[in-house]
Homo-oligomer: A and B are copies of this chain.
Amino acid sequence: MQNRQVILSRYPDGHPRAEDFEVVSIDMPGPGTEEVLCRTRYLSLDPYMRSQIAGRHISGSIAPGDAMRGESVAEVVESNHAAFTPGQLVRGFGGWCEYFTLPGSALSPVNPGLDRPSLELSLLGMTGLTAWAGMIWQAEVKAGDRVLIPAVTGGVGSAAAQFCRLRGAEVIGTAGSEKKCAYAVEALGALACINRHEGDLAGQLDQHFPGGIDVYFDLVGGELLHLASERLALQSRVVLAGLMAEYNDAERAPGPPPGFWIRARATIYGLVVYDFEPRRREFVDTCLPLLREGKLDQREDMTDGIESAPEAFCRLMHGGNFGKVVVAFP
């Protein structure tokens, strides 16, 4: 049986381009003991993958010749594991490929009652769990907090904005276009959204946070982390969850002056979502009902077929996506 997968063909020079990847055909063996053969239905593409390529990610590195990794929703084709049967939908780290085998212990059944199974990769998946862990468990966002969320229409940002809104907090987002900003306010419930390509960013932050920033969900690092740190309210919280602004750089960039944080008596949390896997059930039990009741919105930026994955990923790294980036497999 033949399988197609995407490998990294060479290290990107700065922003990745589609030519840095290659779709290759390989032989696909059947599943071994306790293993399950799956056919990919949806693949999640996320900024952290750029960090894997840069060799700086917690989950390990990807070098030229290596297969691209990622979380997917897939259909069981053949199972040597008692918990799974053919036709069943599962979630697991299948990677950028049409078929994969994983031990049954590395797979989870997709939650029943979802509008569409791809939600298992966004609101109910790693991006949703990241947002929940950062905003609810770490920063403990509460009614009245004014929260700054960058890339607010993206996967993590849009989940975070809605979770904060549900807690009674006021969200100011940033996004890369007027259209995205309108969506943030209308669909996600943000109080306002700053178009990061228009006008003076520092001045707009001053305007939207007259009393300072209570919570900043840092998904980007770089300039915005500096500007936000300079404007923190007393007893504020900063969750460090990503460094989008520097994933494409060869070197780690320095952070904001620590004096900003001392002055604000801030608490800063480093967030790695894998640590919160043991609490996923708790998160899903809260979110799934909200999702079923239509209280949460999830916009997806969906492309079709494995060939579309490299280009979709490069677009994501340029901020060209509008919503959570997912590749659908026919």
- Shortest CB distance A126–B (Å): 15
Interface check A279, CB cutoff 8 A: no
**Which residues does chain B contribute within 8 Å of A271, judged by CB atoms?**
262, 265
Cα distance, A269 to B260, chains bound together (Å): 12
- Are B267 and A267 in contact, with the CB atoms below 8 A? yes
- Are B263 and A58 in contact, with the CB atoms below 8 A? yes
Of A117-125, A250-258, A301-309, the segment with at least 4 beta carbons within 8 Å of chain B is A250-258
- Are A252 and B262 in contact, with the CB atoms below 8 A? no
Question: Given A240-B258, A258-B218, A261-B240, does the pair A269, B272 have CB atoms closer than 8 Å?
Answer: no
Interface check A201, CB cutoff 8 A: no
- Are B267 and A272 in contact, with the CB atoms below 8 A? no
Interface check A268, CB cutoff 8 A: yes
- Are B257 and A263 in contact, with the CB atoms below 8 A? no
Nearest B residue (CB) for A251: B257
- Shortest CB distance A295–B (Å): 30
A149-177 CB contacts (< 8 Å) to partner B: none
Nearest B residue (CB) for A261: B270
Interface check A296, CB cutoff 8 A: no
- Per-residue CB contact flags for chain A residues 252-296 toward chain B (1 = under 8 Å, else 0) read 111111111111111111111001000000000000000000000
- Are B264 and A267 in contact, with the CB atoms below 8 A? no
- Are B265 and A267 in contact, with the CB atoms below 8 A? no
Interface check A225, CB cutoff 8 A: yes
For A258, give its contact among B243, B262, B272 (CB under 8 Å): B243
Cα distance, A243 to B261, chains bound together (Å): 12
- Are B255 and A56 in contact, with the CB atoms below 8 A? no
Question: Given A221-B258, A252-B257, A257-B255, does the pair A270, B264 have CB atoms closer than 8 Å?
Answer: yes
- Shortest CB distance A257–B (Å): 4
Interface check A37, CB cutoff 8 A: no
Nearest B residue (CB) for A269: B267
- Are A253 and B257 in contact, with the CB atoms below 8 A? yes
| 17 further contact pairs, Cβ within 8 A, besides A243-B262, A263-B272, A268-B269 | A58-B263, A240-B261, A243-B258, A252-B259, A252-B260, A254-B255, A254-B256, A255-B256, A255-B257, A258-B270, A261-B268, A261-B270, A265-B271, A265-B272, A265-B275, A266-B268, A266-B270
6 pairs of A and B residues whose beta carbons are closest in the complex: A268-B268, A254-B254, A252-B257, A255-B255, A261-B270, A262-B270
28 inter-chain pairs at a CB distance below 8 angstroms, sorted by A residue, are: A58-B262, A58-B263, A218-B258, A221-B259, A240-B258, A240-B261, A240-B262, A241-B262, A242-B262, A243-B258, A243-B259, A253-B257, A254-B255, A254-B256, A255-B255, A255-B256, A255-B257, A255-B258, A258-B270, A262-B272, A264-B270, A265-B270, A265-B271, A265-B275, A266-B268, A266-B270, A268-B269, A268-B270
